[in-house]
Amino acid sequence: MIMPKLSTSILALALGACAGATTWAAPTPAAADQPRTMEQVVDRISANEQKLYGQMRNYSPLVETYIQNLKADKDLGEVPAGDKYFLGRANFQKGVNLVPLNETSSKGKKVFMSVGNFFSFAMQFLPDGFLQMIFLDTNGFDRSHYKFDYVRREFLGEVRCLVFDVTPLEKNNRGRFLGRIWVEDQDFNVVRFNGAYTGNGHASWYFHFDSWRTNVQPGLWLPTFVYSEEKDLHYAISKKLDFKAQTRLWGYNLNGNSQEQELSKILVETPMQDDTKTANDLSPIQAQRSWDRQAEDDIIDRFERIGLMAPKGEVDKVLETVVNNLEVTNNIDVDPEVRCRVLMTSTLESFTVGHTIVLSRGLIDVLPDEASLATILAHELAHIVLGHRLDSQYAFFDQLLVDDKDTFRHFGFARTPEEETQANSKAIQILNNSPYKNQLGNAGLFLQALDSRQKEIPNLISGHLGNRVPNIADLKSSVPIDPKSNPQRIAALPIGGRVKIDPWNDSLSLIKSKPVGTVAEREKMPFEVTPFMPYLMRYGADAASKPVAASATTPQDNKPGEAPDPTKP
């Protein structure tokens, strides 16, 4: 097959595919190994894909897939009608495999697949199928198996890309990719591909998907996001499938950098004066507090090492600012001090580990404003104030040495119904004395929205380590609100509306995106799955002043310590 050549100028590049220009312009200056023809460009793309498949064997990232089945709604278009959730660790040593971490939530069964299984007129999903969508074609993505048609240049964020449409050459070539790819024009790595695998049949199907990669290290682009969607897929008589799904990958370099930095530190011991020794002896009460804090620190460290908890960072500071507002206005002084951390998962849950308040990333994502965030934090702070303690058995290190796959069975921080009731009452008291006391109607609206969707999204709101979002009945009924009275009021955001993840080191930061103006009722999509549209940048680029496209848009320019508020104009 003869491929069209592209011209030497950047301007003519967009015309080369149509005009038949004869040479290829190397995007980087005069490098001897830069491709100069279209065939060489395609060969470089193919070589990089093959290289990526080998590189992925060195990594075992965490993989989270969340699926929402959809049903038609006359007012909102489509709304969730059931969901599935899966969390596992990838293993690429022998193909594409996942080791589940949350078997208890699926009762030991694999409940996801990117191909359907036609058995007893039922459709199942397997997680391995969604993970497969991070690869184009492991059986030969090259000119021998595909036709590459150049389309244009296009920027994805700050990364200039070459866009190609790719088509399998052979007919009935099951499992080959059909769609469009975006290739960054320096090293010719695929950074995004959008389409589907070919070859749907009577017993199994391939779904449409949009797959993204992130530049996590110089020259290294690793899979990060996959969005999948299917509409009106008929798989049996009078049966069809409508769904949306998000797959996230993170934890590529768990503890790699921190371990090297820790070993390279130079520490100097400072001798203590003899007259201070007695002052450092611990009383029995202080010893108990120290023992409990050790258990707390051990658990946090364990979760961070396996990628379930984000390292200390920007989002924690925002949470702790809100907690400080609650403590100061209520004259709360607890020892040791209250800390906040973020669980990396999309499930909506919160709990305390000793004096550490833990909120899931997914919960922070969907909270509409700071008052709603304060409500959740007040409930967990109430547990601490009331003295609801952590099981101190975790201070023994053998209790932490469990396989990753047993994490959710081994650890549990759910409170008893009596403790939850006590915390609810105390939380109301804390909130009524706080700066958020006149904004509790927003939090009530959030809890009402969650209640209205709980039957449709049970896997999203089911806590794996702690309790589900606290059901504060007094708050829901104290300030009745009619959402129709303010059409721009948003009860809850879509999934991914607040926080973005660095897939290499697991650090979290708040999404900074432009205001969207008037929001139609169908665009509010509380707790719903939306597509990924990340703002791609090359490794090392300064992103401090750049807007970040996300799965949901929220205003920027909020006050320090204030969560972005989508209800602002």
pLDDT of residue 117: 40
Mean pLDDT over 360-381 rounds to 95
Over residues 31-81, the pLDDT tens digits come to 557 888 899 999 999 999 999 999 999 999 999 999 999 888 887 778 899
Provide the pLDDT confidence category of residue 127 given band limits of 50, 70 and 90: confident
What string of DSSP letters covers 448-502?
Answer: HHHHHHTTT-HHHH--SSSEES---HHHHHHS---GGGSTT--S-PPTTSSEEE-
Q: Which two tokens stand for residue 333?
A: 């002084």
Q: Which of 132, 69, 56, 62 is nearest to 102 (CA)?
A: 62
Residue 321 CB neighbours (<10 A): 16
Q: Which two tokens stand for residue 147?
A: 């036709």
Q: Is the dihedral of CA 100, 196, 190, 172 positive or negative?
A: positive
Over residues 419-447, the pLDDT tens digits come to 999 999 999 999 999 999 988 888 888 98
- Cα angle: 562, vertex 305, 249; to 5 degrees: 70
pLDDT of residue 186: 94
Contact 285, 293 (CB under 8 A): no
Is 51 or 463 the better-scoring residue by pLDDT? 51
Helix/strand/coil for 90: strand
Q: Is the dihedral of CA 553, 554, 555, 560 positive or negative?
A: negative
Is 325 or 299 the better-scoring residue by pLDDT? 325
What average pLDDT does the chain have?
A: 79
Contact 359, 378 (CB under 8 A): no
Contact 172, 185 (CB under 8 A): no
pLDDT of residue 180: 97
Which H or E element spans position 14?
A: helix 10-19
Helix/strand/coil for 15: helix
Helix/strand/coil for 550: coil
Q: Which two tokens stand for residue 131?
A: 């993970």
The rounded distance, in Å, linking the Cα atoms of 105 and 85 is 8
Q: Which two tokens stand for residue 11?
A: 């301007």
Over residues 485-531, the pLDDT tens digits come to 555 578 899 999 899 999 999 999 998 877 776 677 777 888 999 99
Whether the upstream peptide bond of residue 515 has omega within 30° of 0, thus cis, is no
Over residues 228-244, the pLDDT tens digits come to 998 877 665 666 788 99
Q: C-alpha dihedral over 537, 539, 545, 551, to 10 degrees? A: 50
